[in-house]
């Protein structure tokens, strides 16, 4: 089995602005982890990891994300700057390291450690060492049919920090302000309680859809829920 790069969601910072990712590929084991780093697969320092990320919104289309600076050949943790709630798709590309002693395919994207650039192989001659011509490309081209890559994987994850906080806020406002246990107010007519129920239903539906890989449907529900309550902290007015 070839190397399988496994980038996973680790955590979200307290401000809800950064998504922390971790390389969970691990070391090769013939039975427990045949896709891990190490012989017969490449070691971590023999592969450059390039990440591309998108907030897959339906109202705005795919919004490209920015990653905080990382070393493609060394780092095992990565930080994504978040955009809005919902479906985040992180694509991981493992590129072989450029060397005239390695045989690459035409149109293969490789990483040159000397210049810290991605190269698309155009022509190859010789039998090792090889003579290559290439063009320097940007990372976003990896997400097209213009190049091939040695290794690739996709992480789909949900970010619902603000909606979860709004859910909690609506619940708190209801119990603090309506006092349903001590007054005669009909519980189902309380505005905060109605908001809480709506957001609760959306959150359950979003997670259900995502769990069954209905990512687009989950994102649509996120955007519907945002219209009910667009808040960022526990003191918001839902």
**CA 92/CA 21 separation, integer angstroms:** 11
Q: Specify whether the CB–CB gap between 86 and 99 falls below 8 A.
A: no
For the segment 190-221, what is each residue's pLDDT rounded down to a tens digit?
677 777 788 888 899 999 999 999 999 999 99
Tokens of 1: 């089995």
* Eight-state DSSP code of residue 174: I
**CA 71/CA 21 separation, integer angstroms:** 14
Mention every residue, 6+ apart, whose C-beta is less than 8 A from residue 214. none
Q: Specify whether the CB–CB gap between 11 and 22 falls below 8 A.
A: no
Does residue 35 carry a pLDDT above 80?
A: yes
Residue 63: count of CB within 10 angstroms of its CB = 13
pLDDT band at residue 188 under the 50/70/90 scheme: low
pLDDT of residue 189: 67
Tokens of 18: 């950064």
The mean pLDDT of 173-178, rounded to a whole number, is 61
* Mean pLDDT, all residues of the chain: 89
pLDDT of residue 179: 52
The domain locations on the chain are 7-158, 161-228
For the segment 64-96, what is each residue's pLDDT rounded down to a tens digit?
999 999 999 999 999 999 999 999 999 999 999
């Amino acid at each position: 089995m070839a190397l399988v790069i496994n980038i996973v969601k680790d955590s979200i910072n307290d401000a809800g602005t950064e998504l922390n990712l971790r390389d969970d590929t691990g070391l090769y084991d013939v039975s427990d982890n045949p896709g891990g780093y190490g012989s017969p697969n490449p070691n971590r320092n023999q592969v450059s990891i390039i990440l591309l990320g998108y907030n897959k919104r339906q109202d705005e289309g795919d919004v490209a994300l920015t990653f905080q600076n990382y070393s493609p050949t060394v780092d095992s943790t990565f930080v994504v700057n978040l955009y809005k709630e919902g479906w985040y798709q992180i694509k991981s590309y493992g590129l072989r390291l450029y060397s005239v002693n390695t045989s690459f395919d035409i149109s293969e994207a490789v990483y040159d450690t000397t210049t810290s650039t991605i190269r698309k192989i155009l022509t190859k001659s010789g039998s090792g060492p090889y003579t290559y011509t290439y063009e320097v490309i940007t990372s976003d081209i990896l997400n097209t049919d213009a190049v091939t890559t040695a290794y690739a994987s996709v992480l789909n994850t949900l970010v619902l920090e603000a909606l979860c906080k709004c859910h909690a806020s609506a619940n708190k406002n209801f119990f603090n302000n309506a006092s349903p246990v001590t007054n005669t107010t009909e519980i189902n007519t309380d505005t905060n309680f109605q908001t809480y129920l709506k957001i609760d239903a959306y959150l359950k539906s979003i997670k259900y859809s995502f769990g069954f890989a209905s990512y687009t449907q989950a994102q649509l529900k996120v955007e519907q829920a945002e219209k009910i309550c667009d808040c960022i902290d526990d003191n918001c007015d839902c």
